Amino acid sequence: MYRVTLLPGDGVGPELAEATRRVLDATGVKFDWDVQPCGIEVIMAEGKVPARVLESLRKNKLGLKSPMTTPIGKGFRSINVFLRQELGLYACVRPCKVYPGVRTYFSGTKVDLVIVRENTEDLYAGVEFEAGKADTAKLIEFINGIATGKKIGSGIATTGVSIKPMSYEGTRRIANYAFEYANKHGRKSVCSVSKANIMKFTDGLWYAETRAVAKAYGAKFEDASLAEGVSPDSELVGKVADTKGGVEYTERLIDNMCMQLVQKPELYDVICLSNLYGDILSDLCAGLVGGLGVAPGANIGPDCALFEAVHGSAPKYKGQNKVNPTALILSGKLMLEHIGEKAAAEKLDRAVSAVIAEGKDVTYDMKASRTDPTAVGTSQMADAIIAKMQAE
């Protein structure tokens, strides 16, 4: 029996959480669900994420989370970012593969890639200074006053500043995770993505560290010159002796990567990125494989793992039993894999795949026309997936 914290979220979250819970129970794996309401309404009422939510996740070490709303530009900190940072969920893993039957421009292509995104640093650290505030003016004056030769040229009272902290440790940790993942799942390559030609001390650091980790893993460098003078990560050498090696290490700049993914996504496998680039590319990759309705995710830390869809709370569809439960259900599949329930995960994947391939009991977003009257609701699609598993 696995005790799992279930966060039903808000917007369409509760409907998706219920559908997913039923599907996971139907796999035959025994779950004891510790339901913890923590949507926007709860946060508004209590003023913060309730302590009981963090306590439950810390205790159970396993969570399934439906989406939660973050009002834009109201000084409101994202609950999602808060949970990832509080729980040290440093790796965000988002597999993107095309299921036969899904409507996408890439249906005929073998897209099967995995985004590994750093989850705790970068512009998401929440270190921000609002335009017009005294502290912001002080910061700008300090920066303009130090002898770097660099100045923030725009108006002191009219400029906002967001800080982009990126560390050796944080980068090494996520690159290490990406290579571990590639080795464990028999993946062929890890592509490190950055914008080091512009941001030398953050994105430049990123490349230096991902190269060092790649070298420690015995990776084959696509461009051998990138390995010259790189010292393998001393913390990893020795630990990686048992890995198969042979994973290829490649690098792309983020702008070029966007174009490459649209033109030839089948060439890419594991893609390792810092927080903001990872966030943006996750949605792009979700688009490649059929949209947000089918894009699952996992947030992994040393002590806890939280599984959630890439998409948000789609508030306009709240309470309509309309949106696609596949992304959260596939996040549940990632949870099954994480806890070692491989057979159940594969059974669930086959059932999802079969329902999508038939194209009958699927939600509006999977039909040729979004107004197709034969589209089924969230809970009916879950029923169809359950029926497929039971028929096996």
Q: How far is CA 185 from CA 111, 177, 244, 269, 381, in A?
A: 16, 12, 11, 11, 29
* Angle subtended by helix axes 51-60 and 79-86, to nearest 10: 50
Is residue 34 helix, strand or coil?
A: strand
- Smaller CB distance to ligand NAD: residue 115 or 190? 115
Among 279, 361, 365, 383, the active-site one is 279
Among 101, 312, 338, 350, binds ligand NAD (CB under 6 A): 312
Nearest CA to 164 out of 193, 198, 202 is that of 202
- Phi and psi at residue 199, to the nearest 5°: -105, 90
Largest separation between any pair of C-alpha atoms in the chain: 71
Give the C-alpha separation, 334 to 330, whole Å. Answer: 6
Active site residue 195: yes
Yes or no: say if 74 and 80 are a contact pair by the CB < 8 Å rule: no
Among 17, 23, 68, 356, binds ligand NAD (CB under 6 A): 68
User: Binding of ligand NAD at residue 7 (CB under 6 A)?
Assistant: no
User: Binding of ligand NAD at residue 323 (CB under 6 A)?
Assistant: yes
Active site residue 223: no
User: Binding of ligand NAD at residue 308 (CB under 6 A)?
Assistant: yes
Q: Which residue is nearest to ligand NAD (CB)?
A: 312
Q: Name the minimum Å distance from CB 120 to ligand NAD.
A: 15
Q: Which stretch binds ligand NAD (CB under 6 A): 27-35, 64-72, 127-135, 265-273?
A: 64-72
Q: Which stretch binds ligand NAD (CB under 6 A): 129-137, 140-148, 310-318, 334-342?
A: 310-318
Nearest CA to 49 out of 22, 76, 29 is that of 76
Among 65, 195, 322, 333, the active-site one is 195
Q: Which residues are catalytic?
A: 124, 195, 255, 279
- For ligand NAD, the binding residues (CB under 6 A) are 67-70, 80, 292-293, 308, 311-314, 316, 323-324, 327, 365
